[in-house]
Amino acid sequence: MAVTGSAIVGWVATNATAISAVAAVGGVAATAYGQIEQGEQAKAAADYNARVQENAAAYDLDAANARAAKIRKAGAIQQAEASASLAGSGVKLGEGSAVDINRTIGQQSELDAVNTMLTGKRNSESSMDQAGLLRSQGSNAEWSGYIGAGSTILGAASKGQTLAAGWKSTRN
C-alpha cells in the first residue's frame, strides 16, 4: 500500500487538534521543568554562597584569635623590656612605679586582645547571619520554582478544559 502526499496532508488536517494538543502539553511540561530547574539552581547557588559565608565566619574567628595572641605576646615583650630598662636604671621591680608600669602595659595589651577577639566574633556572627539569609533565599527560590511549575500546569489544564468545553459546544 502506497502512501500519497494527499493522504498525509489529509491525516494531518484531520488530526491537527490532537497534534496541537500534544505540542501544547510538551510546551507546558518544558516550561514547568524549566521553572523547577531554575528554583533548584537558585537554591544550589544560595547554598554555595552560604558555605562561603560560613567559611568566612570561621576565618574571622581564627584570624581574630591569632591577632589577639600576637597582641598578648607583644604586651609580654613590652613588659619585659620595661622591667629590664627600669632594673638597668636601678629601680626596684617589685614595688612602686615599676609595678604600676607593668600592670598598665598588661592591662592595655589584654584590652587590645579582647577587643580584637570581640571584633572577630562580631564579624563571624555577621557572616553566619548572612549565610542563614542566603539559605532562606535559596529555599524560597526553590519553592517558587515548584509553585510556578504547578501554576503553569494548572493554568494549562484550566485552559484545556475551557477549550474542550468550547469544542464540545460547537460540535453539538
Q: What is the pLDDT of residues 41-75, one digit of tens each?
A: 999 999 999 999 999 999 999 999 999 999 999 99
State the cell numbers at 162: 475551557
pLDDT of the residue at 17: 67
First to last CA, the chain: 36
Q: Residues 6 or more apart from 134 whose CB is under 8 A from it?
A: 46, 47, 49, 50, 53
Q: Is the pLDDT assigned to residue 103 strictly greater than 60?
A: yes
Q: How far is CA 50 from CA 38, 41, 94, 132, 133, in A?
A: 18, 14, 54, 7, 8
Q: What is the pLDDT of residues 122-154, one digit of tens each?
A: 999 999 999 999 999 999 999 999 999 989 888
Q: How far apart are CA 108 and CA 70, in angstroms?
A: 14
